[in-house]
């Protein structure tokens, strides 16, 4: 199976360069299978941070950072080596955030980066919000860390690696796993592969 945008017979893949925060128009233009390079700001967060964020929303309190239009990367980066920005920074399994994602999407969250499938409730909330889900390659944590040019803790420092960080990334490689229409590469990819057999 070739990703959307791949040139058959040459092995070349067209990478769309996107600037973060991702505009609504850019999000709507993406399709499952598109390969992208992301440059700009992403926020990190795993389930412990997500639980706190949603608790704030449920209490009617403001979030510690503006989430509308932003991207959350599901990662708990390892400590940086001397002179480094972050240590290995591979994606964590996204379904761990599924219970908390719809409320954040309703607040304007534009994109998520992780690995693995998402629940039907998340996909429906993505369609309603015009949001996109990117996949980062699991097992490539050290390579992904090279795309992180700056990192700062935004909130929940007590969570250690799971604190919310703001990463400045440059040419962060990802693939669109689920687009704003609900097209899901986890479904269409295997179907396309079987059709080419």
Look up the pTM and report it.
0.89
CB 165 within 8 A of CB 41: no
Tell me: the pLDDT tens digits for 86-139? 988 999 999 999 999 999 999 999 999 999 999 999 999 999 999 999 999 877
Listed by start position, the domains of the chain span 6-76+84-192
- State the DSSP H helix or E strand holding residue 39, giving kind and residue range, or none if neither: strand 35-44
Separation between Cα atoms, residue 94 and residue 74, nearest integer Å: 7
Would you say residue 71 has pLDDT above 90?
Answer: yes
> What was the pLDDT predicted at 138?
73
CA atoms within 13 A on the CB side of 140: 13
Region 27-50 average pLDDT: 97
Higher pLDDT, 1 or 149: 149
Q: Determine the pLDDT at residue 79.
A: 87
Domain 6-76+84-192 classification at class level: alpha beta
Give the strand pairing for 15-19 and 111-114.
unpaired
Is 173 within 8 Å of 136 (Cβ atoms)?
A: yes
């Amino acid at each position: 199976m070739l990703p959307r945008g791949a040139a058959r017979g040459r092995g070349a893949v067209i990478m769309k360069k996107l600037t973060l925060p991702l505009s609504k128009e850019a999000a709507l233009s993406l399709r499952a299978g598109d390969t992208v390079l992301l440059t700009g700001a992403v926020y990190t967060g795993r389930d412990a941070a997500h639980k706190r964020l949603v608790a704030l929303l449920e209490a009617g309190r403001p979030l510690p950072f503006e989430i509308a239009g932003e991207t959350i990367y599901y990662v708990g980066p390892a400590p940086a080596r001397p002179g480094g920005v972050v240590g290995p920074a591979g994606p964590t399994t996204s379904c761990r955030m599924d219970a908390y994602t719809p409320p954040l999407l309703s607040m304007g969250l534009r994109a998520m980066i992780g690995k693995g499938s998402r629940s039907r409730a998340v996909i429906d909330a993505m369609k309603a919000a015009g949001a996109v889900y990117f996949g980062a390659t699991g097992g490539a944590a050290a390579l992904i860390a090279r795309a992180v040019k700056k990192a700062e803790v935004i909130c929940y420092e007590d969570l250690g690696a799971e604190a919310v960080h703001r990463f400045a990334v440059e040419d962060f490689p990802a693939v669109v796993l689920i687009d704003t229409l609900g097209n899901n590469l986890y479904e269409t990819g295997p179907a396309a592969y079987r059709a080419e057999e």
